[in-house]
Amino acid sequence: ALHQMLSDVTYGSISGTSVARDFVELPSQLFEHWLEVPEVLRAFAVHAETGEPMPQAMLEKVLGAANFDQGFQTVEYVSSALVDLAFHEGV
């Protein structure tokens, strides 16, 4: 969806999900990881009405949330890998 929202092109055939398959997820991945950069959050995470920057304590909570549930995510990746190995065993 970000491709459509961020694209301003003459030919729709070279935008959105019509781009190369390995490029489709670039905008979403790029924006997702920008949230992990404190300087980016300080520059863009401001109050909509007052323009006040995000308080340092809240900034630290947002950055700390990136590590939340990381153990479960790791187990999820490992279990997917084990299933994949089981499917391809002896192929």
pLDDT tens track, the chain, 91 positions: 666 677 777 877 777 777 788 887 888 788 878 878 889 888 888 999 999 999 999 999 988 887 888 889 899 999 999 999 999 987 6
Q: What is the pLDDT of residue 88?
A: 92
Residues 15, 7: contact at Cβ < 8 Å? Answer: yes
* Among the listed residues 31, 42, 35, the one whose alpha carbon sits nearest the alpha carbon of residue 65: 35
Q: What is the pLDDT of residue 1?
A: 64
> Residue 89's CB: how many other CB atoms inside 10 A?
7
What is the C-alpha to C-alpha distance for residues 46 and 11, in angstroms, rounded to an integer?
Answer: 35
Q: What is the pLDDT of residue 3?
A: 64
